[in-house]
């Protein structure tokens, strides 16, 4: 199992995929390219570092109905 750093920010949780020092990047770098390269959907910046993160989606509880072979979603 992998160990991941988790960030809790604005009532959302993020998995940190990579941390990059801002001074190592070109001043006019493209943030979308950085997201694509790190396979991240969110960039957070703090104390001179970019945190390339993936948002943890809310869990959805489902059950399997054996009678009808359909998935039942619970609110």
Residue-level pLDDT at 69? 58
Residue-level pLDDT at 19? 95
Contact, 39 vs 47, CB < 8 A? no
pLDDT (tens, 9 = 90+) of the chain, 75 residues, equals: 578 899 999 989 999 999 999 999 998 889 999 999 999 999 999 999 999 999 998 877 766 665 555 655 555
Contact, 49 vs 22, CB < 8 A? yes
Residue-level pLDDT at 59? 74
Residue-level pLDDT at 60? 75
Residues with Cβ < 8 Å from 41, sequence gap 6 or more? 35, 53, 54, 55
Domain ranges in the chain are: 5-73
Residue-level pLDDT at 4? 84
What is the rounded CA–CA span in Å between residue 37 and residue 49?
16
């Amino acid at each position: 199992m992998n160990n991941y750093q988790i960030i809790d920010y604005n009532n959302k949780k993020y998995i940190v995929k990579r941390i990059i020092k801002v001074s190592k990047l070109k001043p006019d770098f493209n943030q979308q390219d950085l997201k694509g390269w790190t396979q991240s959907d969110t960039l957070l910046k703090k104390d001179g570092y970019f945190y390339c993160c993936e948002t943890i989606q809310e869990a959805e509880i489902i059950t399997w109905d054996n009678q009808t072979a359909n998935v039942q979603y619970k609110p």
